[in-house]
Amino acid sequence: MHRNWAGNLTYSARSIVRPASLEELADVLTGGGQVRALGSRHSFNDVADTDGVHVQVDGLDDGRPAVEPLTPDDGGAEGEVVSVNAGLRYGEVSRALHATGRALGNLASLPHISVAGAVATATHGSGDTNQSLASAVEGLEIMTPGGELRRITRASDPDVFPGTVVSLGALGVVTRVELRTVPAYVVRQDVAADVPWDTFLASFDAITSAAYSVSAFTSWDEPAVRHVWFKSLARADRPEVRGLAPEFLRWSDVPVHPLPGVDPSATTEQLGVDGPWHERLSHFRLEFTPSAGDEVQSEYLLPRRNAVAAIEAMRALGPQVAPLLQTSEIRTVAADDLWLSPFDEPSVGFHFTWLPREEDVRAVLPAVEQALVPLGARPHWGKVSTLDATTTAALFPRFDDFRRLAARFDPEGRLHGGLVGRLLAAG
């Protein structure tokens, strides 16, 4: 028996395998019974669960470099697209890319998560113009339950491609992911402390657009936003917030951690020091474990046009949620066209890092959901929610199309399990 990273979930799988080759992977997939891919185990619910066999591809060798630039004949454009082993962590891919002068457009808070797992669940970073990590995908190689290795790209399969990227592992085991890259760039990180709520709400658009990536941290019951992290493309000075006098922001002169009172040594460098993109965009350094995993996480994504109303609704719930919170983060995300992405329009995300008291967390989540779902909120696929599968599926307009696509790839339902099984059975 094995557990997820946080330890709040024991998987139901009877075994876990790590195939070393495509041939070994095909043997597992054609061997009958239920099977599911398992990434870096950073999901907090049973989206990756199965009562059959778990497959991890972090040791898979398909005979190609783990990080390989594609040629124009393969769908690349002068090295702009790179094919990576799906089991690699983002931090590993980022370091390899930076060494060649290339970069990804955005990263999530943690560089420790696997590429395939993050893409399959629409994991994201922050920034008004930054889409989710899945939006950088130009192609996937997927092995179906029948052992067929299929390559699906945005260029060659426009009708189904948007349904195959954020797939929750319901189409097969992803072995390679093709990512769009950009030239490497430099980022500085500055943190403003104790931003008054009135200022934050009145200047929300100006604050989130003042840097390449912006994150705000709160416990919802505080008199001010505890910290606003600005990650700016290389510049000499701190970011300026349009229409806001400089004295309205008090800049921290010491490094801080997203969790109050925690040693910031695991966080990426702050205090306005320029550095490579992959050493600033994530909140945490790859070489550190950001926490012991003693936490539960939830997240809700909703239309940006409702951000202020949603923040006010959460502040009203502050007395209920704050006693269970380690911290909460507000981020913005740009829109994309992926069927199971919650970002079909410019969006804002409310992320909750809870104390490891899941029963108590589940008791308070209905109040959070009752406040946010009427404003268009949808739960993150890999985090704890109390919405049932039928309700969740109905929040995604293309879910019926995805259900039909999953039936084409997996007609016997061998990839069903956990949350995915419930979702595909809903409706």
Reported as a single tens digit per residue, the pLDDT across 279-308 is: 999 999 988 876 657 899 999 999 999 999
CB atoms within 10 A of CB 33: 11
Across all residues in the chain, what is the average pLDDT?
94
Q: How far is CA 53 from CA 15, 35, 135, 243, 326, in A?
A: 5, 5, 29, 56, 34
Write down the pLDDT at residue 74.
66
Given pLDDT bands bounded at 50, 70 and 90, which one contains residue 247? confident
pLDDT band at 427 (very low <50, low <70, confident <90, very high): low
pLDDT for residue 287: 85
Asked whether the predicted pLDDT for residue 272 surpasses 60, the reply is yes
Which pLDDT does position 1 carry in this prediction?
67
Determine the 3-state secondary structure of 250 from DSSP. Answer: strand
76 pLDDT band (50/70/90 cuts)?
low
* Confidence at residue 77, expressed as pLDDT on a 0 to 100 scale: 59
**What percentage of residues in the chain have a pLDDT greater than 90?**
89
Mean pLDDT of the region 35-40 = 94
How far apart, in whole angstroms, are the C-alpha atoms of residue 424 and residue 341? 16
Q: Decide if 273 contacts 188 (C-beta within 8 A).
A: yes
Distance CA 11, CA 51 (A): 8
Query: What is 293-332 written as a DSSP string?
Result: S--EEEEEEEEGGGHHHHHHHHHHTHHHHGGGEEEEEEEE
Asked whether the predicted pLDDT for residue 246 surpasses 90, the reply is: no
| Per-residue confidence band for 63, with pLDDT thresholds at 50, 70 and 90 | very high
Whether 159 has a pLDDT exceeding 90, the answer reads yes
pLDDT of 19 higher than 60? yes
Q: How far apart are CA 56 and CA 33, in angstroms?
A: 17
Mean pLDDT of 246-253: 85
267 pLDDT band (50/70/90 cuts)? Answer: very high
Q: Return the residue matching tokens 């799906």.
A: 86
Q: How many helices (H) and strands (E) does the chain have?
A: 12, 19
How is residue 119 annotated by DSSP? H
Helix (H, G, I), strand (E, B) or coil at 47: coil
pLDDT reading at 314 higher than 90: yes
Taking 3-state DSSP, the helix, strand and coil percentages for the chain, each rounded to the nearest 5, stand at 25, 25, 50
pLDDT of 280 reads 95
Residue 200 per-residue DSSP state: H
DSSP state at residue 254: S
User: How much is the pTM?
Assistant: 0.95
Residue 92 · residue 104 · CB < 8 Å: no
Res 169 pLDDT > 70:
yes
Confidence of residue 243 (pLDDT cuts 50, 70, 90): confident
Q: What stretches of 58-203 show up as alpha helix (H) in DSSP?
A: 90-98, 115-120, 161-164, 197-202
CATH level 3 topology of 186-276+293-379: Alpha-Beta Plaits (3.30.70)
Mean pLDDT value of segment 221-234: 95
Average pLDDT over residues 369-384: 98
Residues 6 or more apart whose CB falls under 8 angstroms from that of 130 comprise 105, 106, 124, 212, 213, 333, 334
| Mean of pLDDT values over 138-145 | 97
DSSP H or E stretch at residue 350: strand 347-354
What phi, psi does 33 have (nearest 5°)?
85, 180
